[in-house]
Amino acid sequence: MPSLNASASDWLLERVREVQASPDVTAARKIAVLLAAAGYGKTHLFGRVADALGGDVLFAFVGPIFEAQLARPLQHIVWNVVEALFDAPAGGGPPWIEQLLARLCRPSFEAYFKQLPDLLRTRHQTLWQRLQTDHLAALEIIRSVAEPSAYRRLAESIARAFPGLRNEIVRALALAWSPDGADVRRWLRGDDLPEQECARLGLSQTPPEPERVIEAIATMLQRIGVPLVICCDQLEAVLKDPEVGPINLSNGLVALLHSVPNTLIVLGCLEDAWSVVIANKVHESFFDRVHKPQKLATLSAGHAVDLVRRRVMAWDGNLAKGGTWPIAVESIQAYANARPRAPRALLQECRNAIDEWLSTGKEPVTLGNTPPPPFPEVFIQHWNTELAAMQKKAKSPVDIQEAQLFQSVKYAIEIARVANHLPPGMRVIDAIDGAIKPSGNDPRPSVGVRLEAGGKTFKVIVAVTKRDAGTAFGSYMTALTDAIKPKAVVGAVVVRPYAELNVGPHTAARKTYDKAIADGKLRPFALGSERFTFDQLECLFSILTDADDGLPLGGRNLNRDDCVKLIAENGLIKGLKLLDHIFANWVELSAVQPSSDTPAIAVAVPAAPAVAGTPPAATPPPLPVAAGPARSVATVSGPPAAAAAELKPADIKPVDIASLVDQPQAWANRMLADITAKLLLYKLPVEPIRAQVGPTFARLMVRPADTTDINKVRNKATQLRVSLGLAAAPLIDFQPGFISIDIQLPRRQIVALAPLLGTRPANLVGQTAFPAGQDVAGQTHWLNLADPSSCHLLIAGTTGSGKSEFLKVMLGAMAHGMTPEQLQFILVDPKRVTFNLTGLSPYLLKPIAYDDEAVIPLLTECADEMERRYEKLASMHKSHVSELTGADSVPRIVLMFDEFADLMHDPIAKAEMEPLLKRLGAKARASGIHLVLGTQRTEASVVTPLLRSNLPGRVSLRVASEKDSMLILDAPGAAELLGKGDLLWKQGGDLLRLQSPFVSNVELEELLRVR
């Protein structure tokens, strides 16, 4: 919108043109400062400048600088500059580094063509002509080259053209379009490379100084007439350490001005934050190099109307008449005058209004007149949208800064403390940075988490590192070893991008690393193998980072503490696998924590002679076990299998397994011994711990030797099934401290619903709760629709999986715990077989619906009822229907579909239903209306991103493929389930494997009071 902040845009464009006109280092160059809150359009301003310059400007956006980076802020800046250079532009086209190299090399390619014989020149005449007018034609030439030596010769040639710059930095930049581009990118931004890679590429093992890298990039860009604009946004993060942060940053920026040509530095922050910078002892020389700050304006009524008009007309779904339709112009003007908003906040309000218009058909919508949904729903929807965006980006952990990964891990620990996402009997006392001593070149971000359990205090060190090679890894392991020596430290969790190390198995550092794992003192956590955990950490980082600058959401401006509280209260990271890794199953803690309900089981395994010179391993106490599914994870911590290492096939005594099928515990113990022996034959030694027996499967727990990789164990699942005669392939996963191997029992037990109903927890009486199933330890897990993390459910399962029976259990169990005055169902059964009741039930609000003609009016009625309830809540100053009492109380409504995919095949019906479902999913929880969507078909056309983002609760029974499992759970495993009620329930970031109860039709009708 050109009219908004036009003067600020012109001013910024003038500063960039000053750099273009005089790119050399000069004392007159100054830093530009823009004062505005989040959502006021700073990024939009930069886009205008790029358009005005025909795209010939490189913007490098630098996110907030965190505490771990305050000592070396330029390292953070160079990372973002390198990423901006190597990433593809948002508008498409090749990365800037390729454009830069193509422009630099075009004269050489032209000279090369002129030297070609006439015949060859004629053959390539078309390319020659394109090269005259389009420098990107050079990319066609370079991309056809596969020989690495050719790229290295070209890189040497380019480096000689810039004698004033550090040679190896220019060579690294010139190798960016070669097959080694990913490695030089890592080196330029400050990551370690293995010694052999550095030697092969001719690079020093110590990454280059940030100033020299930025200088080289800016100088090479100067050669082609393209200025570099470094945009440091969200300066507020620097103020977390006001004594150090502003001074270090200002000194670093002034150093860049003194040495780097062709560069404009732009700072963006809140007006209050800039006042703090001024007040905090920053050198006068810094302010001498700063332009007078430009303050961005708030939206006027005219600007607001223009912004909405442009956005609505650009919207693909607009059905309309033009202008700001379907939002009334007068309401936009009144809204902007009454409540000045950032552009982003205004557009959020408009989106809510358009959602209302789509689902109700009312026209036109009055902005600000729609009752807002309860704020937790708004925040949960924002979380789900942000998480979906992270999953779509699919970034690699390698391409995230170490300090950013560490910050997200710290956020997760803080939320775990606030929400008490901890094992029973444990609490977090504090978490203090610097648990591992830093070095000059390696900040070694780490935190010491002090825990109290059983009246005793312990410490777990949590660290993040990318060090995986050379002397840097050796130094890191020395510092880590020193950190975990004190008796109070039970161990360390080291979060890494990937499990693999680039050091030999016989190096001293690798031996130290392996021994720490074997001794149970070190637990590596590989984010690359735990994709969902990584995405959640990225989502957490994004939201809390935005909140540092003020997150406009639902008419409020949230700070970081607000977001932490909302994430904690709504359980959005409950069950995050990393938290289990940090807090669960430390051997030293198991003696003081409440023990598992299931007693330890002695496993009979053949004795083996001890390894010569090796003392006998101490037998650890039994571990409390959390049930979980099989997922893709790399290495596992745990002590070595000293005894098992010498086990031989001849030591296994023959036993008639068939004779044990009626003795499930004895059968599981025997299978544990057999699997231990089989894995040894595959050279994957493990130490058996114990076996647990549930209604469906047995969980065999083993500790790996220090050389055993879980991925290799998992790859033997099919062989184990065949060689041991199992009914299905085992599901193999790792839990903190051990590997779990789940195998189907030869005779499965039925978990009846009736006995479980008498065990309803006291806090769930009168709640929309039901027993989702029993885990392997026999513990019943209850799912409560009143919980924000499971207020609406998506349930998937193929024929024979037990999906329909699961839905019946929901109906029966909730009806058992609530009266018809408290609970009403609306049932949709396109197949006409699941909810085939023989009479009428007082729990049914409407007759059972069977097709879209009946369903769409029901959805519309539910949406209208939701709005009516919100109006009532607003008038009574309440936030949830649970707060209504007496004559004002309203029943919970559960809208349940057995096979909603059958209703989505018609495009017209889908177009009507999906906005209504989305609206209910986004807003209905606090109004006491819940969606339960069951489906056999898990195609993306049925389970659309729009639906998934508004259905936080996920349960998957057996599905047809791992692709289906990923679609429903964001994790594999559901395709390997056993059917007939064997399920995975996604609890926050973790998955819980359960056996669903069974209820007969007769029992169900009794519970529903069918007459």
- Round to whole Å and give the CA distance between 190 and 38: 29
From the list 211, 152, 153, 162, the residue with the least C-alpha distance to 184 is: 152
**454 marked ligand binding residue:** no
The annotation status of 804 as a binding-site residue, yes or no, is yes
- Mean per-residue pLDDT, 113-124: 74
Residue-wise pLDDT for 938-985, tens only, equals 887 788 877 887 888 999 999 999 889 988 988 888 988 889 999 999
More confident residue, 165 or 630: 165
Q: Which residue has the higher pLDDT, 779 or 662?
A: 779
Evaluate whether 418 touches 567 at the Cβ level (below 8 Å): no
pLDDT at 610 over 60: no
* pLDDT given at position 595: 43
pLDDT at res. 416: 94
The pLDDT value given to residue 655: 45
Where are any strands of DSSP class E within 788-928? 793-796, 823-828, 892-897
Summarize pLDDT for 842-881 with one digit per residue, the tens: 999 999 999 888 999 999 999 999 989 988 988 898 888 9
Look at residues 274, 291, 296, 285 and name the one whose alpha carbon lies nearest to residue 250. 285
User: Which residues on adjacent β-strands are paired with residue 697?
Assistant: 744
Please, are residues 564 and 414 in contact by the beta-carbon 8 Å criterion?
yes
pLDDT at 118 (0 to 100): 77
Lowest-confidence segment of 98-107, 130-139, 759-768, 820-829 by average pLDDT: 130-139
What is the average per-residue pLDDT within 602-615? 34
- More confident of the two residues 953 and 46: 953
Find out whether 802 is annotated in a ligand binding site. Answer: yes
Query: From CA 274, how far away is CA 354, in angstroms rounded?
Result: 37
What pLDDT does residue 360 have? Answer: 62
Name the more confident of 612 and 511.
Answer: 511
User: Which residue in this structure is represented by tokens 């779904």?
Assistant: 317
Q: What is the predicted pLDDT for the residue at 647?
A: 37
Cβ neighbourhood burial of 654 (10 Å; 0-12, 13-18, 19+) = exposed
Q: What is the pLDDT of residue 124?
A: 74
Distance in angstroms (rounded) separating the CA atoms of residues 720 and 806:
31
* Burial class of residue 609, CB neighbours in 10 A (0-12, 13-18, 19+): exposed
Check: CB of residue 667 under 8 Å from CB of residue 657. yes
Tokens at residue 490, please? 């039970």
pLDDT at 273: 76
* pLDDT number for residue 597: 38
pLDDT computed for residue 85 by the predictor:
95
- The mean predicted confidence, pLDDT, of the chain is 83
Give the helix ranges, DSSP H, for 420-507: 470-483
pLDDT band at 167 (very low <50, low <70, confident <90, very high): very high
Contacts 24+ apart (CB under 8 A), 1000-1003: 1001/808, 1003/753, 1003/754, 1003/812
Structure tokens at 787: 């919980």
Q: How far apart are CA 786 and CA 926, in angstroms?
A: 8
798 labeled part of a ligand binding site: yes
Higher pLDDT pick, 165 / 278: 165
Distance (Å, whole) CA 535 – CA 527: 9
pLDDT single digits (tens) 449-489: 999 988 899 999 999 999 988 888 999 999 999 999 999 99
pLDDT for res 603: 35
pLDDT over threshold 50, residue 16: yes
> Using an 8 Å Cβ cutoff, are 331 and 367 in contact?
yes
Alpha-carbon distances, residue 150 vs 153, 178, 653, 764 (angstroms): 5, 9, 63, 70
Work out the percent of the chain whose per-residue pLDDT is above 70.
Answer: 87
Rg from Cα positions in the chain: 31
Q: Residue 684, SS3?
A: coil
Residues 942, 936 contacting (CB under 8 angstroms): no
Q: Is 800 annotated as a binding residue?
A: yes
pLDDT at 205 > cutoff 60? yes
Give 587's pLDDT tier (boundaries 50, 70, 90).
confident
Output phi, psi for 350, to 5 deg. -65, -40
Q: Which has the higher per-residue pLDDT, 239 or 783?
A: 783
Q: Burial letters for 617-649: b for 16+ Cβ neighbours within 10 Å, e otherwise?
A: beebebbbbbbbbbbbbbbbbbbbbbbbbbbee
Taking CA atoms, 697 is separated from 335, 608, 630, 727, in Å, by 59, 29, 13, 11
pLDDT greater than 50 at residue 634: no
- pLDDT tens-digit profile of 281-300? 566 778 888 899 888 877 78
Choose from 126-135, 237-246, 915-924, 999-1008 the range with maximum mean pLDDT.
999-1008
More confident residue, 316 or 822: 822
Provide the whole-model pTM.
Answer: 0.74
Q: What is the pLDDT of residue 38?
A: 61
Q: What is the pLDDT of residues 365-374, one digit of tens each?
A: 777 666 666 6
pLDDT band for position 90 (50/70/90)?
A: low
16-30, 139-153, 630-644, 666-680: the lowest-pLDDT one: 630-644
| Arithmetic mean of pLDDT, 626-648 | 36
Give dist(CA 138, CA 134) in Å, integer.
8
Overall average pLDDT of the 381-408 stretch:
89
Q: What is the pLDDT of residue 827?
A: 96
Task: Please state, in angstroms and as integers, the Cα–Cα distance from residue 124 to each residue in 99, 110, 674, following that order.
Answer: 22, 12, 68
